[in-house]
Amino acid sequence: MCEITIQVNCPYCQSMKVVKNGVKRTGRQNSLCRGCGKQFQYVYQKAGCRPEVKRLVLRMLVRNSGIRDIEKVTGVHRQTVFRWLNQKAGSLQVSPRLEAYTSVQIDEVWTFVGQRKKRKRWLFYAYATETEEVLAWSWGNRNQRTVARLYKQLQALEIGRFCTDDWPAFGKVLPVEKHLVGKTYTRNIEGVNLCLRTRNRRIVRKTACFSKKEQNHYNAIKLICYYRNHHTL
């Protein structure tokens, strides 16, 4: 008689130190990982309970998939997708890798929340070409105050020069001796703008996609910036 043995690995830490840990009310076997201490089931009834599905949902969020598209493909309810989005974004911290940068480019893109496109939300952000990372960003109106909030986040860094277009608010906030103005100096960040619009439908200029809540909107952008910097979630 042939006996088939199935090796169960922990879906969280991939440890093989897995033992049985009682039975759920559904009658399904529950398992416990001795490595990380987390419990799991070998087979889940609901898609939202599977760790690999959660990782798939997060990858789809940063690859231009809409909430309802994700719900349709994965079988996870859209409210669960929103909850995962906000939980993941809340746990992430985008911080510069270096203490000094030769050149930083600054630009802005507009988005909107809800169906009123006249109420734009402007995203100002700083991009370092030498490390290809988003250093910091600021939300608000397209005015000097929003630029000042962004510059305050960059003051802890040693930056050789700031490259922007000729929008007047940049010249009023950034130090004159380090400020370079002209589209010639912002070609890299213009490419990042295109990437952001490609990765998130909310930033596309002509789109029917939008966020109903500002928290979901901001966290979706934060998730994309983190993914761009680290290429993993």
The model's pLDDT over 56-112, given as tens digits with 9 standing for 90+, comes to 999 999 888 888 899 999 999 999 999 999 999 999 888 899 999 999 999 999 888
pLDDT at residue 101, rounded to an integer: 96
pLDDT tens digit string along 161-175? 999 999 999 999 999
Provide the CATH number for the domain formed by 100-230 in this structure: 3.30.420.10
Provide the CATH number for the domain formed by 49-91 in this structure: 1.10.10
Average pLDDT estimate for 28-45: 83
pLDDT at 196 over 60: yes
Asked if residue 48 lies in contact with residue 40, where contact means CB atoms within 8 angstroms, the answer is no
Q: Phi then psi for 36, rounded to 5 degrees?
A: -110, -10
